[in-house]
Structures are given as structure tokens and as C-alpha cells.
Amino acid sequence: MIDKSLLSFILRGKNRITVLQTIAKNEVISAQIEQETKMYKSHVSRNLKELKKKELIKCVNPKDRYFKFYKITNLGKKVLNHIQRIKL
């Protein structure tokens, strides 16, 4: 069962959903997210930090200072699937 407070956190921010959906497609860097979603760099960065803190995404190469690749975790996939069912 997915924690309702986690679902609420994601649903409160449309940018969080957008970033999570973008990462779910394939491993991406923040610049790709910015380009694909037309979001500001600061918004993407903040959302990446929030999603990473909640363990919905993870950085594949955390030691790299530039071009960090992000991928969705199993928890992130479950949350995204649940959200997509809610939004239908």
C-alpha cells in the first residue's frame, strides 16, 4: 500500500508529476527535463531534490558534478501508476 501522505505530496505539485513522468520514460539529465517540459532550471532542480529525498527517483551517477542521470525507482513507478489511475 502506498503512503497517502506521499501521494498527497506528489499530487500537490503538478511539476513533481511532470518531472516524475519524464524520468519514467528513460534515464535523463536535468537539461533534458528542462527542454522537454519547458520548466525553469530552478524548478527542475528543486523538484529533483524533492523527489530524490522521497526516494521516488535516484541519481545513477552521483559523483559526477555535471550531467547527472536520474531514473525512477520502484516506489516511484508505483506512485506514478497510482496517480495515473486517480487522474483518469
Burial class (CB in 10 A: 0-12, 13-18, 19+), 22: buried
pTM exceeds 0.95, yes or no = no
Tens-digit pLDDT profile for residues 43-86: 999 999 999 999 999 999 999 988 999 999 999 999 999 998 88
Domain ranges within the chain, ordered by starting residue: 4-86
Q: Is 21 helix (H, G, I), strand (E, B) or coil?
A: helix
CATH class as words, domain 4-86: mainly alpha
* pLDDT for the residue numbered 86: 83
